[in-house]
């Protein structure tokens, strides 16, 4: 297969832990031809979607990769286009989903499905599965958030477009900084945010469950907060520990995975704390390198098996 991956700049990626690169390594081992492109390399020439891409090869030299000359392609020139640009889901990301949507109409195979990526906000999408979600509120009204806090006593508030645990705050009724936190995160009532009931099971880990073509990987990566920290995200200093899925994890992943597959969301990361689904990550979920390093499960191989079979 000819596979093109839309990434953040190659030089910014960490080859020892990056999920996209792990998938690409597995593809290279299997003899597939790899290309890379940036989000800015996607453009529209009249009504036709075009993509500037470089042939990509892994290298054993100090520079661990080699790039060929940039050339212009139609997205349908490739067997699959993998959109793996990290959030934030800003206007530029939104515009990319529009262009990739057109590419699909013109015959390209794009994963994840750009229309579904656009429709499934990673925080709001838990509303599709209320039976698994903790109590939550989505608003930009600080009075409503204060009321929610009074009802539950202990909550977290987070932006709708963040990643890696950025700008997530835990609030209790005794916090002396409630006003400034709410003013900051909502930009004085101009920005919509999510509040969720705080789940003390976070101390045992914020589990990342990888779902590939509707089926969960048998191990989750429990991201355990460092001492004194509320967030388990690895980017926020959490420690990743691979754990077999529990019965509840399987129930959540199987139910959600069936819908994800119907929506063309091929690679997804579910965030589960205790018994509850807290986020559905559809842009560029991570965690497969850590699972592979700690278990006999190889998620990158499972991904390529599913991609080749689809």
CATH code at position 39: 3.40.50.20
The catalytic position among 142, 208, 249, 290 is 208
Quick one: 103 and 154 in the same domain? no
25 catalytic per annotation: no
Give yes or no: 50 in active site: no
167 and 103 in a common domain: no
Query: What's the structural domain count of the chain?
Result: 3
158 catalytically annotated: yes
C-alpha 294/C-alpha 240 separation (Å) is: 10
Whether 176 is covered by a domain: the verdict is yes
Instruction: Give the pLDDT score at 231.
Output: 57
> Cα separation of 41 and 4, whole Å?
12
- Residue 263 annotated to the active site: no
Say whether both 174 and 205 belong to one domain.
no
Residue 150 a catalytic site member: no
Q: Are residues 109 and 185 in the same domain?
A: no
Q: What is the pLDDT of residue 237?
A: 67
What is the CATH number for 292?
3.30.470.20
**Could you confirm whether 281 is annotated as catalytic?**
yes
Structure-derived torsion over alpha carbons of residues 48, 116, 273, 205, reported in degrees to the nearest 10:
-20
Q: Is 160 exposed, middle or buried (0-12, 13-18, 19+ CB in 10 A)?
A: middle
Burial pattern 71-93, b for ≥16 Cβ within 10 A else e, equals eebebbbbebbbbbbbeebeeeb
pLDDT of residue 230: 65
Does the annotation mark 223 as catalytic? yes
In a domain, 119, yes or no: no
Q: Say which CATH number the domain at 164 has.
A: 3.30.1490.20
- pTM above threshold 0.75: yes
Q: Residue 276's domain spans which residues?
A: 124-128+201-297
The DSSP string of 235-249 is: GGT-EEEEEEPPHHH
Q: Which of 123, 197, 207, 263 is catalytic?
A: 123
Chunked into runs of 10 residues, the chain (310 residues) has average pLDDT values of 97 94 98 98 97 96 93 98 93 96 98 97 96 98 98 96 80 94 96 97 95 98 79 68 98 98 98 97 96 98 96
Residue 307 inside a domain? The answer is no
> Which of the listed residues 51, 78, 113 is the one where a domain comes to its end?
113
Q: Which residue among 231, 233, 249, 263 is the active-site one?
A: 231
Active-site residue, selected from the candidate residues 223, 249, 263, 290:
223
Q: What are phi and psi of 129, to 5 degrees?
A: -135, 65
């Amino acid at each position: 297969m000819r596979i093109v991956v839309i990434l953040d700049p190659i030089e910014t990626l960490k080859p020892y832990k990056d999920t996209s690169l792990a998938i690409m390594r597995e593809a290279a081992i299997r003899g597939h031809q790899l290309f890379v492109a940036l989000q800015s390399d996607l453009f529209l020439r009249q009504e036709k979607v075009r993509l500037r891409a470089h042939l990509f090869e892994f290298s054993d030299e100090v520079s661990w990769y080699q790039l060929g000359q940039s050339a212009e392609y139609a997205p349908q020139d490739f067997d699959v286009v993998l959109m793996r640009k990290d959030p934030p889901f800003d206007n530029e990301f939104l515009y990319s989903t529009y262009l990739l949507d057109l590419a699909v109409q013109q015959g390209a195979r794009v994963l994840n499905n750009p229309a579904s990526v656009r429709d499934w906000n990673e925080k709001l999408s838990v509303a599709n599965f209320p039976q698994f979600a903790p109590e939550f509120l989505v608003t930009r009204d600080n009075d409503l958030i204060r009321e929610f806090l009074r009802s539950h006593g202990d909550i977290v508030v987070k932006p709708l477009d963040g990643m890696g645990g950025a700008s997530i705050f835990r609030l209790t009724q005794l916090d002396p900084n409630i006003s400034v936190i709410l003013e900051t995160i909502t930009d004085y009532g101009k920005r919509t945010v999510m509040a969720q009931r705080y789940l003390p099971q976070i101390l045992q880990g914020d589990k990342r469950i990888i779902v590939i073509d509707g089926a969960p990987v048998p191990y989750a990566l429990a991201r355990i907060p460092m001492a004194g920290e509320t967030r388990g995200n690895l980017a926020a200093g959490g420690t990743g520990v691979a754990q077999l899925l529990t019965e509840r994890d399987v129930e959540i992943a199987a139910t959600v995975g069936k819908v994800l597959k119907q929506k063309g969301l091929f690679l997804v990361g579910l965030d589960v704390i205790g018994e509850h689904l807290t986020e559905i990550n559809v842009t560029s979920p991570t965690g497969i390198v850590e699972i592979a390093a700690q278990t006999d499960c190889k998620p990158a191989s499972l991904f390529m098996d599913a991609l080749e079979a689809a």
